[in-house]
Amino acid sequence: MLMKSQKRSEAFMSKNKIELVSSGIEGLDGILGGGFPLGWVIVVAGGPGSGKTTLSTEFVIQGCLKGEPGILVTLNEPRHHVLTTMGVFGWDLEFLEREELLTILDYSATNVLYSIHKQGMKDGGPSLNFMIDQLQDKIDSTGAIRLMIDPLNAFSFLFKDKFSMRRELHKLFGMLAGRKTVSLTTLELGSSEMPFTVEEFLAYGVVRLYHKKIGRDRERSIEVVKMRGLKQSKSSFPFEISSTGCRVFESTETFDF
């Protein structure tokens, strides 16, 4: 009887085991507890210049370089700006597109966001159904594993109240989780020290980036605030953006920015 109970317990544990996806970013997996959980939606939040977009884009690119399809959803910058700004790190996004490893969905134009709003009104009120359906189809058709949405704040003007926004984000996050992607969604904060937001409460994981002025210089750091189901570091760590991308320093060593 004990053996049957033990087998059922082992089967339950293996069935619910969290599968991790390596970030591909130097030093980041160490403070995450091994990587990002498959199926998780993670908010990467921070103030201006903290590195949200760069870190999240590199996560997708590192997957593409290993043959894992990825999707970049841009809500602020038009596609040609993304190609230019990310090109400074030596990442040839157009090549990855031609190889069908990367898909860039450009929702940056005001008329595109208006279309999302207009379709939502047809459904009985403002919603993200139009975008969720398109994104779901693209994930299914490409087999994308890694995804980035930049930034979530762009949705805020579509909704008059927090309840509506929470409802629609819950639908978006649920679709992404159901598609077994690892989705990094950036969130612009006026200050990295701001209280936690609706987006962060809904997400399965939260990473905050800091860009503090110390003396005459600014220094970057990174903190894993929450990652459900994983044991992660509770400290902040130095974070660097160089000409080749991002790096997290797991020790307290000092370095020049």
Task: List pLDDT tens digits, range 63-119.
Answer: 999 999 999 999 999 999 999 999 999 999 999 999 999 999 998 876 666 676 676
Of residues 233 and 26, the one with the higher pLDDT is 26
pLDDT attached to residue 255? 35
Contact yes or no for 220/51 (Cβ under 8 A): yes
pLDDT attached to residue 40? 94
Residue range 187-205: mean pLDDT, rounded? 85
Task: List pLDDT tens digits, range 43-67.
Answer: 999 998 999 999 999 999 999 999 9
Reported confidence tier of residue 256, pLDDT bands at 50, 70, 90: very low
Three-state secondary structure of the chain: CHHHHHHHHHHHHHHCCCCEECCCCECHHHHHCCCEECCCEEEEEECCCCCHHHHHHHHHHHHHHCCCCEEEEECCCCHHHHHHHHHCCCCCHHHHHHCCCEEEEECCCHHHHHHHHHHHHHCCCCCCHHHHHHHHHHHHHHCCCEEEEECHHHHHHHCCCHHHHHHHHHHHHHHHHHCCCEEEEEEECCCCCCCCCHHHHHCCEEEEEEEEEECCEEEEEEEEEEECCCCCCCCEEEEEEECCEEEECCCCCCCCC
Q: Evaluate if residue 253 carries a pLDDT over 80.
A: no
Residue range 221-249: mean pLDDT, rounded? 90
Q: Evaluate if residue 234 carries a pLDDT over 80.
A: no
Reported confidence tier of residue 16, pLDDT bands at 50, 70, 90: low
Residue range 157-170: mean pLDDT, rounded? 85
Query: pLDDT over 70 for what percent of the chain?
Result: 84
Reported confidence tier of residue 231, pLDDT bands at 50, 70, 90: confident
Q: Evaluate if residue 192 carries a pLDDT over 90.
A: no
> What domains appear along the chain, each with residue ranges and CATH number?
20-248 (3.40.50.300)
pLDDT attached to residue 11? 45
pLDDT attached to residue 182? 97
Closest listed residue to residue 198, CA positions, set 243, 241, 148, 159: 159
Burial of 11 (0-12, 13-18, 19+ CB in 10 A): exposed
Reported confidence tier of residue 177, pLDDT bands at 50, 70, 90: very high
Of residues 136 and 191, the one with the higher pLDDT is 136
> Residue 142 to residues 37, 71, 174, 212: CA-CA distances in angstroms?
20, 9, 19, 39
